[in-house]
Structure 1
């Protein structure tokens, strides 16, 4: 009886002490929130932090540490913010508290996301995601997937962003969480738009109004709802602008700008005004509203100091001036946009402004083109490095977690083996040992498979990046060869026909033009050689060209080829000409055919290669073969290859056929 009384007394003392400590901590935190005139808030938080550390390591203590961490962050005390989180994490590890470990990673990921440190943010969101997934905390698992997808979207890794968002949507489809489902659908529309998957984009856009109405019924914050509606109108209006359906997009912009609450969101209002102006530029160029809309948008962006918005506003203004035939005003405005983008390191806007100036600022075309190409190469390198870095983070995180799991399981097996040794005979021990070795082999095989798969993914991404770079190089080389070289040749010919009293000067000028023409031709040839020098199988290059074709009427492109075509019978220059001819024929299909299907067939004959481009489109207008500049280029290139070009109609199929004879190691163009 006496022992029982002592036990009960001790229990009540401990319970009262814990309750008293809990109430005291809560009271101090509440005082911090209510009394804003505390002179030294940092010291006040330090005292609460030390008080919490004196408590028992339980879930309440860890939760209080997380609250203290957020308040340190509010005071911009970053070292103490991180120190408190690390302490909470260590205590959670000691108690095998996976959920609080995940919450620490969540806080760190959010912190680095606000600081725009993408790799650290991605790393911690990924760690949190894995922990929530392991605990089947579906809601937070989906939330971390969305946060991770947001980081991937911001840095331009769109395919992985789409994958993470789709996974979050799959999880949320079984949850009753409207807000997260809305955010996931918005994220999917944004990334699909970047991937140019326009049909899929519209499907997700149509879901958003229903979700916003459901949030309204659930009593969601009105101001955030108003902003979400305005963002929806802006995004879907911009989608229709990009689809070249301005009349459908216009009603969404007008609906948004007619809202009474629009002035509460100046940054969003400026974006709506700018996109509405662009909509009118597409559909009603003579509208008197365009200038005022662009000017008002630019004024609002300057008031809120939205630098990227200011750059975009100047770009739209310059494009509009060009449409009004005010080329000088357009160039001046675009120079301002270029200088601002350069000062703020805005890569996308910098590329757009450079491309515009290279095309229309005739006095500085060469300088802008060189800068444009250098910037493009730099951005491609950065993109490739970023993709590799994020793939490496995902891989290393997975490997660390896998090793931890293996260590935990290994420890469990060791304890089991010890019990078996003490309880059973030597035969039982040997059987268990063999089983352990088999499992280790299985884990090793799985690990090797994962490593191989990741390496394959990295190679694929590298291949895609190289392909994009080579396509741009090929386009520029073609422009140099077919455009500028031809113009210089014509200019040189006209110069020789002009009468002059200084024939020596005319001859000298003609010589300089001839040298420039030769330099440009050599440059374009060198670029083409670089395009093909690392590709052993030319059929694969042609296949890639065919399968990457896209157009607005969604033609299905099919590639068929004989195996082992003797491409080594052709020189690099001959392959280049074949490639450019096929590119011109595919361009004709994309531009004029309105076909649902196009087949490109490579056939090897005894002394030649035959390439057929067949489509079920509208066919060619009378005289198109002789009048079209593209077909003239095809005939010109085939003349150098001693090839033949024919066009025929069979049922509903238009067939364009080129035949190029073998002429081993011929270098003539």
Structure 2
């Protein structure tokens, strides 16, 4: 990978992550009391990553019932921080958000700000506008409590978001504010980060001389870090990155000899051994500068060596950059075959990695060498470029709107607070007046009331007992009605709606006459569902479901509708030895609902190729329903108790039937329900 004119962002990402995550987010927990031993730092640093997460889970679990004090809030923040380092963003968010709630409950400004900061970090890679919003909220609090180091950090974080959203002008503004707050700071690593990002931002704005100035300021920061006995490997790596950034500016200004002079001393055996990725970057950048300076000796071997290193390490984005430069080198050597082959590989990699900038760079080079497909590449370039411009146009002022809307909401809250204050005063005054009147009345009639206290107490106890009994009866009736309605809606209406929706979706793309007729049938079925809902809302009359339908026909139609909407083959077998007319409606409706619920579950989860529904008369009074599929099955002992299976059991138990469910993973499922009719 090269820090070339348009190909250096991944290294900035690497450096920024190192700086932001491992150094500038440092949390120091200074409270020492009975909870201090809850986090054993020395032990935590020794254990491997898998055990660290379990340790943090145990810590967070132990904090749930603790009193909300500063140490508990600190421990939640510490857990959120360590989860973040372990790349478990979901748990980091949970711990940070819990710390935010507890801090707000105690009006703990510094920890509110820190929680908002950590939550912003959780959104940084997924929803940049949300990350920006939380950084902005933290910034406002840090400004109020005059924590200028953290205030500078928030401006840097906002600038970081803006930079990777392509908003370089606002990024420069945020960095300028951050550096102003940090001008007397002792946080040299944060200053280094700000100066480096400012240099990269100004480079994007084509202000190369100013960008060079900030990269040189970053080198000064490194010298201070070295004097402060900062880890030498860390300083050395930062120094290499800064030199690469500076050499990139030399290349942009056309001063390739300076770039070569600065890069050559960096290629050491120690760098090759300990930091092979950095070595490959420096080697590739040196080869690129030599190529631009028309010094072609060993350039190809240098590119190939750097490409081999990053391929072996699995850095596919780095390999893509190197292939682009290697293709450009072959182009300078008029080796069209190698250039075309290498650039096509780079183009495919840029598409796979969704790197639009390098897709455009590759397309631009391909139009120069592939005369047969020049028009195709040119059209692709224009289409992608227009798409990028459209996106940038839509998001250009997104972050300014966030700032504006936040200020607007704050102003509105101030007005509401003022109004609420006046309303509170008025209400309090009115309360005092009413209280005085009531107290006067109370004192006036106190003697009279005391004579009836004993009788009233006795009456109240009796009334309370009657009301309690009546309320219990009402609650029981309500619960019974709720369960009844839930079963009817879930087993009847919902399953019908699901079936109609699946069928309409299946026929939605077809316009032949047969399909139109079927669609009309399902629209008519929606009318039936409407009537059934109306029936349920009036009196939950289950018998109305069967008033005008032959029950065997209803079951056959149900199986037929499943075959029409699914690749699964459904088969229906019924014992002809008995007449459905002799079976009570209560059994028929529950048979229908149980089959309907079971088929819905099979459709959703079983992935079966064949399903058999059998109804057999075992004895003259014993009716057995069997539903058998060859699907994926499930573990009965560990499966969650969903509402579907619960409803099947409830309906079976309500009629004093028996149910057996036999299923194993990979061996299908068998449900047998038996009723004594």
Q: What pairs up with 1:285-434 in 2 under 5 angstroms?
A: 285=295, 287-411=296-420
Q: Give the Å deviation of 1:32.
A: 6.2
- TM-score (structure 2 length as normaliser): 0.55
Give the CA deviation at 1:57: 2.0
Query: How far apart in 1 are the matches of 2:205 and 2:49?
Result: 52
Distance 1:70 1:251, change over 3 A: same
8 Å contact 1:178–1:215 — kept in the other structure?
yes
2-structure distance, mates of 1:31, 1:263: 30
CA contact (8 A) 1:32 1:38 kept: no
Matches within 5 A, 1:124-273: 124-258=134-268, 260-261=270-271, 263-273=273-283
Give yes or no for the alignment of 1:100 onto 2:111: yes
| Alignment check: 8 A CA contact 2:39 2:75 kept | no
1:262 to partner: Cα distance? 5.1
1:6-57 residue CA offsets vs partner (Å, 9 max, x unmatched): xxxxxxxxxxxxxx99435624545862673899876654553343233332
Cα 1:320–1:163 change in 2 (3 A) is same
Find the aligned partners of 1:121 and 1:368 in 2 and give their Cα distance: 37
Q: 2:37 is matched with which residue? A: 26
Pick which of 156-165 and 31-40 moved more.
Answer: 31-40
2:132 aligned partner: 122
The separation in 2 between residues aligned to 1:67 and 1:89, in whole angstroms, is 13
Match of 2:92 among 81, 96, 107: 81
* Alpha-carbon distance between aligned partners in 2 of 1:259 and 1:197, rounded to the nearest angstrom: 35
Larger RCO, structures 1/2 (Cα 8 Å, 6+ apart): 2
In the alignment, structure 1 residue 275 sits paired with structure 2 residue 282: no
Partner residue, 2:471: none
CA distance in 2 between counterparts of 1:314 and 1:47 reads 48
Residue 73 of structure 2, aligned match among 49, 53, 62:
62
Which residues in structure 2 correspond to 1:507-656 (within 5 Å)?
A: none
Distance 1:283 1:209 in 2: 26
Determine which structure has more spread, i.e. the larger CA radius of gyration: 2
Change in 2 beyond 3 A, CA 1:159/1:366: same
Structure 2 unaligned residues grouped into runs of 5+: 1-30, 433-677
- Provide closer, same or farther for how the CA distance between residues 111 and 204 of structure 1 changes in structure 2, counting only shifts above 3 A: same
Distance in 2 (CA, whole Å) between partners of 1:354 and 1:39 is 44
Count residues with an aligned counterpart. 403
Q: Is the 8 A contact 1:334 1:353 kept in 2?
A: yes
Matched-pair contact (CA < 8 Å) for 1:158–1:195: yes
SS in structure 2 of the partner of residue 136 of structure 1: coil
Q: TM-score, normalised by structure 1?
A: 0.56
The answer to whether the 8 A contact 1:233-1:255 is kept is no
Contact 2:310 2:319 in 1 (8 A): yes
Q: Secondary structure at the match of 1:403?
A: helix
Structure 1 pair 407–32 and aligned structure 2 pair: CA distance change class (3 A) = farther
Deviation at residue 389 of structure 1 after TM alignment: 3.4
Q: Residues 406 and 376 from structure 1, CA distance in 2 versus in 1: closer, same or farther, beyond 3 angstroms?
A: same
Deviations 1:351-390 (A, max 9, x none): 0111111232101111111111111111111222232433
- The alignment partner of 2:288 has SS state of helix
Counterpart in the other structure of 1:649: none
Asked if structure 2 preserves the Cα contact closer than 8 Å seen for 1:358 and 1:368, the reply is: yes
Q: Secondary structure at the match of 1:363?
A: coil
Task: Please give the alpha-carbon distance, in whole angstroms, between the structure 2 residues aligned to 1:300 and 1:219.
Answer: 32
* Cα deviation code 1:76-134 (max 9, x no counterpart): 65544333322211111121112111111111222222x45423322222222222122
